[in-house]
Structure 1
């Protein structure tokens, strides 16, 4: 499908000291917070990820709350729709003024009557 891409990237995750007893779980929680949200840095919606920790030593940041950083190598599955891109979806509702679809099983879209091609126009019988 158009709009899907895989991005290999290096990430730095900032973790609170209270999570130091289970760093792997803390990283999963941080990366999971990026799922299904548009990310300006990656110019797309993060759909899935896998990662490897690059350094076994974390860097402690000075300050009031001394967070520590963990460097990761991550592979992200991104969905980046662009204008005039062909996108597939499942039609879930057809109304006189719109067609409602689900894209990739999670994202809803509405095609209004102004954007519906003439051969798909609603005609009432009766």
Structure 2
């Protein structure tokens, strides 16, 4: 899925002197407070981190509320979706006007009817709402389906995504991946048939009205040629 990046960062975490004996806990608590929030400094939503304290010698910074500054290196997993990226999420609600999705378990996304391609038709079957493709009957989107959709916009404050199912490479991930595998198998089988036909054509050729088998030393005259010689 697009929108996920791993970033290396050199950070300085400020710890109150009273917590200097438990600096590691203070650092983890500080970084954890930024989880699942958009951070302008990081340039994305912090999902996970792995830290390595570069120096255990804290530098006390002067001020009204003096703090100790600890330098550390960190690997950050960030979520920063941009327009035209492809994201994946789980469908949690369907209506005739919209499809509601949860991405990575925390970000909400909505795809309104004008951004759902005309191929999909909303139906209620056995008291369950579904979007079914009119072109491919097995391509169905229902609650619980994992879908791939295009990002139109991303609200960083409330972590809300506006998406689109207009491109043909969007929809149910299960169906898209299965369809891609079937196309690949067809292409491979077609290539095999073509190569076999080419081999057969190479094994047999006609020269001057005579059929010559390249795989054998025997040369057979065609029936038409033999009939002419007898007459």
TM-score by length of 1: 0.92
CA RMSD of aligned residues (A): 1.5
Please give the residue correspondences for 1:1-126 in structure 2 after superposition, counting only pairs within 5 Å. Answer: 1-123=1-123
SS class of match (1:118):
coil
**For this pair of structures, how many residues does the alignment match?**
125
Q: CA deviation at 1:23?
A: 0.4
Q: CA deviation at 1:19?
A: 1.6
- 1:57-95 CA distances to partner (integer Å, 9 max, x unpaired)? 101011111111000100000111000111111111101
Query: Equivalents in 2 of 1:22, 1:42: separation in Å?
Result: 25
Range with bigger deviation, 46-55 or 12-21: 12-21
Query: Equivalents in 2 of 1:40, 1:15: separation in Å?
Result: 21
Query: Equivalents in 2 of 1:117, 1:86: separation in Å?
Result: 16
TM-score by length of 2: 0.52
Which is helix-richer, 1 or 2? 2
Bigger radius of gyration among the two: 2
Query: Equivalents in 1 of 2:13, 2:114: separation in Å?
Result: 45
Q: CA deviation at 1:124?
A: 6.6
SS class of match (2:8):
strand
Q: CA deviation at 1:121?
A: 4.2
